[in-house]
Amino acid sequence: MGLPARKAKWSISDELWEVLEPLFPEVPNTHPRGGGRPRVPYRDVMNGIFFVMRTGCQWKALDATNICSGSVAHARFQEWSESGIFLKMWENGLLDYDETYGIDWKWQSADGAMTKAPLAGEKNR
């Protein structure tokens, strides 16, 4: 008997997935006879997207991880970015954090730098 399958430590937890799943739209099957290839589960795609964001690897490098295809992850990333799903995730996370811990909305800060470029050349160029 082999070892039981276990999720990778970087996979989306069940608790987080319960929060994220309702944000994704239902996609109707538009195949003329109701067939066609089923879509890759959204949770697998999100694991792939988070993997790319966390590691900085190229999308096509996902193919070697068996999480999901890099082309599917990239297509869904673009689709979900345009539809505002990631913005909703950010807003929900921010509101949840504010409700749990509180955010001091009176004090905000921005970081910036006003320096010369190190290889900018001479002054009049």
Transcribe 48-115 into DSSP letters: HHHHHHHH---GGGGGGTTSS-HHHHHHHHHHHHHHTHHHHHHHHHHHHHHHHT---TT---------
Q: What is the pTM of this model?
A: 0.73
pLDDT band, residue 39 (cuts 50/70/90):
confident
Mean pLDDT of 102-107: 82
31-40, 53-62, 79-88, 94-103: least confidently modelled range: 31-40
pLDDT band, residue 82 (cuts 50/70/90):
very high
